[in-house]
Amino acid sequence: MSDQPNLPPPPRAPALEAVNVSRWYGNIVAVNDISFALPPGITGLLGPNGAGKSTMLHMLSGFLQPSAGEVRVFGEPVWQNEQLYRRVGLVPEREAVYPFLTGREFVEMSAELQKLPNPKDAAARAIAMVDLESAADRNAGGYSKGMKQRIKIAAALVHEPDVLLLDEPFNGADPRQRLHMMDLLRSMAAEGKTILFSSHILEEVERLAEEVLVIVAGRLAASGDFREIRKLMTDRPHTFTVRSSDNRTLAAALVSDESVYGVELVDGTLHVRTSEFAAFTMAIPNVARTAGVSILELRPTDESLESVFSYLVKR
């Protein structure tokens, strides 16, 4: 028996982690002192063009060396650590595929390079997951943009990685394929995989990502659930649209509430601005009850990811 007290197990390292990561090219700073740790689930990487998204993704995938700081997967540095690719799947942005290989051969090649015991079966499973069986035996050089994206995803997840990095994965995919891929990524996230994808289409990120990383001018402008981020932006009033049994009376009553910043009646709709999200949502039922007004609908109008993103970018 050991005399030492029972120690708690060491904390599990995050699946994907950036620690004070910077990258510069000569005098140009592409990524500036970014730190984050991603939990299992889907995270969207957002940023305007040239913000440093691709640089960040390339560092996360081990294809760029950070000038300072470190990128880690399950606690291990990514740079010059090819064995980590057993646990990481990568979908690069460029739509290049080997044009002389069929889709099936391409995915089988990935399975063989991952040293899977049965590459053919693994490839068939991955191709089925991206719904590309019908075209799997055609040369990938003749694939449409969307098909190339899907076969790249199949090749990236053939070894069932714990971490999946996707650079603009929905480029060229039609709406049906997009929905299918979103469902696929959601199911992987539900299995505990960590998925990070970049996209310039905010609607995609809003529909798919539980968390966002927003990079603006090389810096991490925000990270986390974008609705929570929005609530923390106290320097910018929140806007609500209210429909009630008597908008004018409610407007008069709300003006006297401390949490309300301003009210506006436009075309019979009441718009309320508040600087305190929580205080307002707690106050409005009492205000309405006291004024004898029934609230029919209360909707935050600027809680979308687009609103959060444009605010962060303009800031």
Partner 1 sequence: MNATIIRLTFRQLLGQKRTMLMLFFALIPIGIAILFRFAGDDEDPRQWTAQTLLGGLTVGTFLPLAALVFGTAALGTEFEDGTAPYLLSKPIPRHQVVLSKLFVAWVATASVVLVVGLVAGIIGIWGEQESGIVVGYVVAIVIGALVYNAGFIWLSIATSRALIVGLVYVFLWENIIASLFAGVRFLSIRQFTLGIAGGIMDVPERIFDPRLGFAAAVILSAVAILATIWLAIRGLRRWEIGEAG
Query: Phi-psi bin for 187: left (phi > 0), alpha (psi -120 to 50), beta?
Result: alpha
CB of 199 to partner 1, least distance (A): 14
Return the number of the residue (218 or 300) whose C-beta is nearest partner 1.
218
The backbone torsions φ and ψ at residue 195, rounded to the nearest 5 degrees and listed phi first, read -125, 125
Told to check if 62 binds partner 1 by CB under 8 A, we report yes
From 47-55, 173-181, 226-234, 271-279, span contacting partner 1 (CB under 8 A):
47-55
Indicate the DSSP class of residue 147: H
Structure tokens at 157: 């997840």
To the nearest whole angstrom, how small is the minimum distance from the Cβ of residue 161 to partner 1?
10
Nearer to partner 1, 16 or 284 (CB): 16
Interface residue with partner 1 among 155, 242, 260, 312 (CB under 8 A) is 155
**Which DSSP category does 162 fall into?**
S
Give the whole-angstrom CA distance, residue 12 versus residue 9. Answer: 8
The only residue of 36, 53, 122, 216 in contact with partner 1, by rule CB under 8 A? 53
Residue 49 makes contact with partner 1 by CB under 8 A: yes
* Per-residue tokens: 302: 């600027």
Strand ranges for 57-210 from DSSP E? 68-73, 76-77, 88-91, 163-167, 194-198
**Binding status of residue 101 toward partner 1 by CB under 8 A:** yes
Say how far apart CA 270 and CA 129 lie, in whole Å: 47
Binding site for partner 1 (CB under 8 A): 23, 25, 30, 49-50, 52-55, 58, 61-65, 80, 82-86, 88-90, 92, 94, 96-98, 100-101, 109-110, 112-115, 155
